[in-house]
Structure 1
Amino acid sequence: MATTAQTITRSALGGLLLFTGVAHLTFARRGFRVAVPEWVPGDPDATVVASGWAEIALGAALLLARRRRRGVGRLVALFFIAVFPGNVSQWTHHRSAPGLDTEMKRFGRLFLQPVLVLLALWATRD
């Protein structure tokens, strides 16, 4: 049975993913394109749209899953790992985006990703 802290964390991560997913598809779409590394095949905008839909699906799953929480947590953790190269690329190529307009902010975000991975795993374990 999940603790209250796990439930709050899972809900917060789910809400964050839903918000970010909607942002990918709407008002922040251009800003997310700068994080797509050059080595990712295809159109950067298509990558942003696909990752936005993935975030929406994962956020909803975190909020709604009951029996398969652990599996959802693993998928969310894998997603956070998968987008990490984009964060590194944005930092190393000095690309600004809303809220990430300095080297220190872009560098600092790199340390948030492992925390998100750990929180996703912890919040969904039994």
Structure 2
Amino acid sequence: MKQTNTPERTVFQTVLRILLGAFLAFAGTGHLTWHRTEFLAQVPTWLPINADLVVLLSGVVEISLGLSLIFLRSKQVQVGWIVALFFVLIFPGNISQYMNGISAFGLDTDRARLIRLFFQPLLVLWAIWSCGSWSAFKLNRKS
């Protein structure tokens, strides 16, 4: 069985990984409680699933991912890829909010909703960098 190389992560990466985990756990809790209505604004209207169910399930997923970022230290490379994939999968909701002009989370102009779209790739990069996922990919490709 091939052994994978795991890169060393800096203290800064670790702090940002834990911060991202806390952010996701907090946002996931908001899905289930006080921000539930706001998150409904991000569920695409074309999705053939009950929007409230999507908000609840995505909240559970966000809490799970957040806690995984914080506590599953031995699996950080894999968790980084999974969190990055999650950010890619929820991006259509952000696009839908922009395209349909739906106000939520203080995003009450088309300009604000458009600017927000450019932050989603940064979240993807944050996940794979802070978990060492990209470095591990490069190391494993060389060996």
Q: Structure 1 length normalisation: TM-score?
A: 0.96
In structure 1, what is the Cα distance between the partners aligned to 2:81 and 2:94? Answer: 20
In structure 2, what is the Cα distance between the partners aligned to 1:105 and 1:70? Answer: 33
Between structure 1 and structure 2, the one with the greater Rg is: 2
Q: CA RMSD in A?
A: 0.9
Alignment of 1:69-84 (within 5 A): 69-84=76-91
In the TM superposition, residue 98 of structure 1 has moved relative to its aligned partner by 2.5
Higher mean alpha-carbon deviation, 45-54 vs 97-106, is at 97-106
Structure 1 runs (4+) deviating above 4 angstroms are: none
Count how many residue pairs are aligned between Structure 1 and Structure 2. Answer: 126
**Aligned residue in 1 for 2:16:** 9
In the TM superposition, residue 101 of structure 1 has moved relative to its aligned partner by 1.6
Which SS does the other structure have where 1:67 is aligned?
Answer: helix
Which sections of structure 1, spanning at least 5 residues, go unmatched? none
1:117 matched to 2:124? The reply is yes
Q: Among the aligned pairs, what percent are the same residue?
A: 46
Which sections of structure 2, spanning at least 5 residues, go unmatched? 1-7, 137-143
Q: Structure 2 length normalisation: TM-score?
A: 0.85
